[in-house]
């Protein structure tokens, strides 16, 4: 519980500022309520304004009391050292741990010298013959390196052939299959009525640039014919041109610039319309547009 008074003491300045701002706000609210009370006429209105004024003055008084409590706690809170805040009850008064001496090893003179090791004679017998003897080093102790014995290999022996590594298989890169081109959309051909026929272009003909559409369109009085194209993904047909009179194997649409349409396969149709806006005949074919 000693931490709370210490925190209040550390942040006393901030708490004073908060209490002062709150007190000033409530005092200003009370004064505003008193001015409003002077302008109030009805009893109920005056009672409500008076209640707000009294509440504001009480809250300002509570802010002053809170500031006094903070001052009292800050004055009575004991000063604590860093060791006491960390809860180190075993720390020394100066916060420094006592130094401890490290044990020193005692080395005697006998450990500094090595006992003399008598030479060791080694005799090697190969095929009944005694090889020249050799001796170990007389100094350096039992852990000293031992000189290798003289070579007894046959001088006429041929060296063994060095092992050869087996050939490693090499990785071959598989050919990447070429991407398959998507099949063109299937568009039905429907020119069953003799009153609507498209002669140029024919079905699946490739068109590029400026082109004149030729065909036959029988139009009754008050009717018309129109040429339309269906864009990919669209629901409604796009208008290209129209005529108000009958055409027999002639020009239905002169010098139309097909390069304004993106390349692809499209549905292209001729529609004749009656005077009452009903469709009389349709001729639909697929065409291919290139740039």
**Omega cis (within 30) before 36:** no
Average pLDDT over residues 246-266: 94
- Structure confidence by residue, pLDDT tens digits, 121-167: 555 555 555 555 545 444 455 555 555 555 555 556 566 666 666 66
d(CA 28, CA 141): 100
User: Sign of the CA dihedral 188, 190, 196, 200?
Assistant: positive
Please say which residue of 48, 82, 116 terminates a domain.
Answer: 82
CATH number at 238 reads: 2.60.40.10
Overall number of domains in the chain: 2
In a domain, residue 155? The reply is no
Q: What is the pLDDT of residue 153?
A: 53
Count the Cβ atoms, other than its own, within 10 Å of residue 266.
Answer: 21
In a domain, residue 128? The reply is no
Please say which residue of 82, 114, 132 terminates a domain.
Answer: 82
Please give the residue range of the domain that contains residue 17: 3-82
d(CA 98, CA 145): 49
In a domain, residue 129? The reply is no
In a domain, residue 66? The reply is yes
- State yes or no: pLDDT of 73 exceeds 50: yes
Provide the mean pLDDT of the chain.
Answer: 77
Q: What are phi and psi of 52, to 5 degrees?
A: -65, -40
Please say which residue of 82, 98, 117 terminates a domain.
Answer: 82
- State yes or no: pLDDT of 110 exceeds 70: no
Count the Cβ atoms, other than its own, within 10 Å of residue 211.
Answer: 19
Q: What is the DSSP string of 86-127?
A: TT-TT--TTS-PPP-PPPPPP--GGGGS-------EE--EET
Given a contact cutoff of 8 angstroms between Cβ atoms, the answer to whether 26 and 59 are in contact is: yes
pTM equals 0.39
Strand partners, 229: 238, 268
- Structure confidence by residue, pLDDT tens digits, 191-202: 999 999 999 999
Q: What is the pLDDT of residue 145?
A: 55
Least confident window among 8-22, 104-118, 211-225, 267-281: 104-118
* Largest distance between two CA atoms of the chain: 142
In a domain, residue 32? The reply is yes
């Amino acid at each position: 519980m000693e931490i709370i008074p210490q925190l209040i003491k550390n942040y006393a300045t901030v708490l004073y500022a908060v209490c002062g701002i709150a007190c000033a706000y409530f005092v200003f609210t009370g004064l505003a309520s008193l001015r409003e009370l002077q302008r109030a006429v009805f009893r109920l209105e005056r009672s409500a304004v008076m209640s707000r004024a009294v509440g504001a003055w009480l809250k300002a008084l509570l802010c002053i009391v809170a500031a006094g409590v903070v001052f009292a706690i800050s004055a009575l809170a004991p000063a604590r050292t860093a060791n006491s805040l960390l809860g180190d009850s075993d720390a020394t008064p100066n916060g420094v741990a006592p130094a401890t001496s490290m044990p020193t090893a005692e080395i005697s003179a006998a450990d500094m010298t090595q006992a003399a090791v008598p030479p060791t004679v080694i005799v090697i017998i190969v095929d009944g013959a005694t090889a020249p003897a050799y001796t170990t080093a007389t100094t350096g102790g039992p852990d000293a390196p031992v000189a290798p014995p003289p070579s007894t290999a046959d001088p006429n022996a041929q060296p063994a052939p060095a092992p050869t590594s087996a050939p490693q298989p090499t990785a071959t890169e598989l050919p990447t299959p070429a991407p398959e081109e998507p099949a063109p959309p299937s568009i039905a051909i429907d020119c069953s009525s003799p009153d609507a026929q498209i002669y140029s272009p024919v079905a699946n003909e490739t068109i590029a640039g400026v082109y004149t559409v030729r065909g036959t369109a029988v139009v009754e009085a008050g009717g018309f014919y129109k040429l339309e194209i269906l864009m990919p993904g669209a629901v409604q047909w796009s208008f290209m041109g129209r005529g108000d009179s009958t055409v027999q194997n002639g020009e239905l649409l002169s010098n139309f610039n097909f390069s304004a349409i993106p390349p692809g396969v499209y549905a292209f149709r001729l529609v004749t319309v009656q005077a009452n806006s009903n469709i009389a005949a349709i001729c639909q074919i697929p065409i291919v547009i290139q740039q």
